[in-house]
Chain A
Amino acid sequence: MARMKFICDAERCIECNGCVTACKNEHEVPWGVNRRRVVTLNDGVPGEKSISVACMHCSDAPCMAVCPVNCFYKTDEGVVLHDKDICIGCGYCSYACPFGAPQFPSSGTFGLRGKMDKCTFCAGGPEEHGSQAEFEKYGRNRLAEGKLPACAEMCSTKALLAGDGDVVADILRGRVVQRGKGAEVWGWGTAYGNQAKGA
């Protein structure tokens, strides 16, 4: 198995926010925290494009690199997770992350910044899989249930893809071949090895 990855097909995303809702519902994410959100480029202009963004579970994760208490870890599937018992809520990861993935819920009477919360690729945390403690801290562990992330599985247009990087890449490549456009974009050759259309 390759690494677990997300990709959002901007040609398909209709900005319905179904992924955001699915995530919030599945993990009972607290008020004010959005592990996933939809970003629209050129909003209101004909041809606007939307993409769904959350933690991208980077191969060389900047959050892991800057964390002063080393609370992050990476699973065998390449999912970047963290331990809330170690996290001190300093926010360094939030400054380092290019996607704005780390979230900080308000806690206490004066709205103090709580411990960091982010997308777990529906893989829970270091607690016992499927336990109440894991659910309360990190949400449901769908990967250990043999399922894929709820956001991608709920996506009505199948714009948001999640799973084994090889499978996700195959699906996207197939769509590009079908559309007859998309292979000209910057990075296609790097990702798929050939600059030619449909390669």
Chain B
Amino acid sequence: MKAAIILSSLFLLAACGETRQDKAGVGSDKPAVTGTGVAVYTDPGWTAGDQASWANHLKARATYGQNDHARAPK
């Protein structure tokens, strides 16, 4: 009886689960960190393929380009 309740609960609760939203439909896209390979359009100062370098570059670009409070003289 106990096992039947557990099993039926599991069956009913399965409908409440959400599917993971990841690259389920499309698997061919490469990560942005790999770069485009087109040097003329690529912003210098980071290494393609290096996740930390790319993330730090974007962080610095966002901070410098968008945080005017950090740039304005005190």
Residues of B contacting A144 in the complex (Cβ-Cβ under 8 angstroms): 32-36
Given the interface contacts A75-B32, A163-B66, does A148 sit within 8 Å of B26 by beta carbon?
no
A146-B65 Cα distance, complex, nearest whole Å: 13
Number of interface residues of B (CB under 8 A): 40
Q: Give the nearest-CB partner of B23 in chain A.
A: A73
Contact status A129-B25, CB under 8 Å: no
A116 at the interface (CB under 8 A from B): no
Scan residues 155-171 of chain A and give those whose CB is less than 8 A from a CB of chain B.
158, 161-164, 167-168, 170-171
Contact status B26-A71, CB under 8 Å: yes
Q: Give the nearest-CB partner of B27 in chain A.
A: A73
Residues of A contacting B29 in the complex (Cβ-Cβ under 8 angstroms): 73, 75, 81, 125-126
Residues of A contacting B28 in the complex (Cβ-Cβ under 8 angstroms): 126
Residues of A contacting B58 in the complex (Cβ-Cβ under 8 angstroms): 1, 143, 146, 148, 163-164
Contact status A168-B62, CB under 8 Å: yes
Given the interface contacts A158-B68, A163-B59, does A70 sit within 8 Å of B38 by beta carbon?
no
A73-B51 Cα distance, complex, nearest whole Å: 20
A114-B74 Cα distance, complex, nearest whole Å: 52
A76 at the interface (CB under 8 A from B): yes
Contact status B69-A162, CB under 8 Å: no
B10 at the interface (CB under 8 A from A): no
Contact status A163-B62, CB under 8 Å: yes
Residues of A contacting B9 in the complex (Cβ-Cβ under 8 angstroms): none
A43 at the interface (CB under 8 A from B): no
A22-B62 Cα distance, complex, nearest whole Å: 17
B17 at the interface (CB under 8 A from A): no
A155 to nearest B CB, angstroms? 8
A177-B67 Cα distance, complex, nearest whole Å: 13
B24 at the interface (CB under 8 A from A): yes
Scan residues 136-150 of chain A and give those whose CB is less than 8 A from a CB of chain B.
140-141, 143-148
Residues of B contacting A197 in the complex (Cβ-Cβ under 8 angstroms): none
Known A60-B21, A70-B24, A144-B35; 4 more pairs at CB < 8 Å: A70-B25, A72-B25, A130-B37, A144-B32
Interface residues in chain A, defined as those with a beta carbon under 8 Å from any beta carbon in chain B: 1, 60-61, 64-65, 67, 69-77, 81-83, 86, 123, 125-126, 128-130, 140-141, 143-148, 152-153, 158, 161-164, 167-168, 170-171, 174-175, 178
